[in-house]
Chains A and B, each alone.
Chain A
Amino acid sequence: MKDMINVALPKGRLGEKVYDIFEKCGYDCPSIKEKNRKLIFENEEKGVRYFWVKPSDVAIYVERGAADIGVAGKDILLEYSPDVYELADLKMGKCRMAVAGKNDFKDDRTRTLKVATKFPNIARSYYNSISREIDIIKLNGSIEIAPILGLSDVIVDIVETGKTLIENDLKPFETIVPISARLISNKVSFKFKNAQITELAKKIAEYCTE
Chain B
Amino acid sequence: MQNKNVKLSKFESALFDMRMLFEQYGYSQYKVSKFESYDLYAKNKAFLVSDNVLTFTDTTGHLMALKPDVTLSIVKNTVGGNGLQKLYYSENVYRTRGGSQGFKEIMQTGLECIGEVDLYSTAEVLMLAAKSLKAVSEDYILDISHMGFISSLISENIPSEHTKELLELISQKNVAQVEMFLTETGVDADIKNALLTLTSLYMPLADALEKIKPLILNDAMGEAYDELKTLNSLMERYNIKSLYLDFSVINDMRYYNGIIFSGYIKGISDKVLSGGRYDNLLKRMKKDAGAIGFAFYLDTLEQLVNTSSGFGIDTLIVYDENVAPEVVVSAMEMAVSEGKTAKAVKKIDTDIKAKEIVDLRGEQ
Set B139, B174, B246: member contacting A86, Cβ < 8 A: B174
Assembly CA distance A65 to B270 (angstroms): 8
Asked if A186 is an interface residue, CB under 8 A from chain B, the answer is yes
Set B174, B175, B202, B268: member contacting A188, Cβ < 8 A: B268
Assembly CA distance A194 to B173 (angstroms): 13
Asked if B248 is an interface residue, CB under 8 A from chain A, the answer is yes
**Cβ A87 vs Cβ B264 within 8 A:** no
Asked if B141 is an interface residue, CB under 8 A from chain A, the answer is yes
**Cβ B269 vs Cβ A64 within 8 A:** yes
Asked if B183 is an interface residue, CB under 8 A from chain A, the answer is no
Which residues from B are CB-within-8-Å of A80?
99
Set A84, A89, A198: member contacting B172, Cβ < 8 A: A84
Set B98, B99, B141, B177: member contacting A191, Cβ < 8 A: B141
Set B139, B141, B173, B269: member contacting A85, Cβ < 8 A: B173
**Cβ B244 vs Cβ A191 within 8 A:** yes
Residue of A nearest to B173 (CB): A85
**Cβ A194 vs Cβ B268 within 8 A:** no
Given contacts A188-B269, A188-B270, A192-B139, contact A85 B264 (CB under 8 A): no
**Cβ A86 vs Cβ B99 within 8 A:** no
Residue of A nearest to B141 (CB): A191
Given contacts A86-B174, A87-B173, contact A192 B248 (CB under 8 A): no
Interface residues of A in 157-175 (CB under 8 A from B): none
Which residues from A are CB-within-8-Å of B176?
86, 88-89, 205
Residue of B nearest to A193 (CB): B266
Residue of B nearest to A208 (CB): B176
* Shortest CB distance A97–B (Å): 15
Residue of B nearest to A189 (CB): B269
Which residues from A are CB-within-8-Å of B175?
87
Assembly CA distance A191 to B264 (angstroms): 8
**Cβ A194 vs Cβ B202 within 8 A:** yes
Asked if B143 is an interface residue, CB under 8 A from chain A, the answer is yes
Asked if A51 is an interface residue, CB under 8 A from chain B, the answer is no
Asked if A22 is an interface residue, CB under 8 A from chain B, the answer is no
What 8 A-B pairs have minimum CB-CB distances, sorted nearest first?
Answer: A65-B269, A86-B174, A85-B173, A86-B172, A89-B176, A191-B141, A188-B264, A192-B266
Task: Give residues in A with beta carbon < 8 Å to B.
Answer: 63-65, 80, 82-89, 186-192, 194, 198, 205
Task: Give residues in B with beta carbon < 8 Å to A.
Answer: 98-99, 139, 141, 143, 172-177, 202, 244, 246, 248, 264, 266, 268-271
Q: 20 more A-B contacts (CB under 8 A) besides A87-B174, A89-B176?
A: A63-B99, A63-B269, A82-B99, A85-B172, A85-B248, A86-B174, A86-B176, A87-B175, A187-B264, A187-B271, A188-B264, A188-B271, A189-B269, A190-B173, A191-B141, A191-B244, A191-B246, A191-B264, A192-B141, A198-B202
Residue pairs across A and B with Cβ atoms less than 8 A apart, 28 shown, are A63-B99, A64-B269, A80-B99, A82-B99, A84-B172, A85-B172, A85-B173, A85-B174, A86-B172, A86-B173, A86-B174, A86-B177, A87-B175, A89-B176, A89-B177, A186-B269, A188-B268, A188-B269, A188-B271, A190-B202, A191-B143, A191-B246, A191-B264, A192-B139, A192-B264, A194-B202, A198-B202, A205-B176
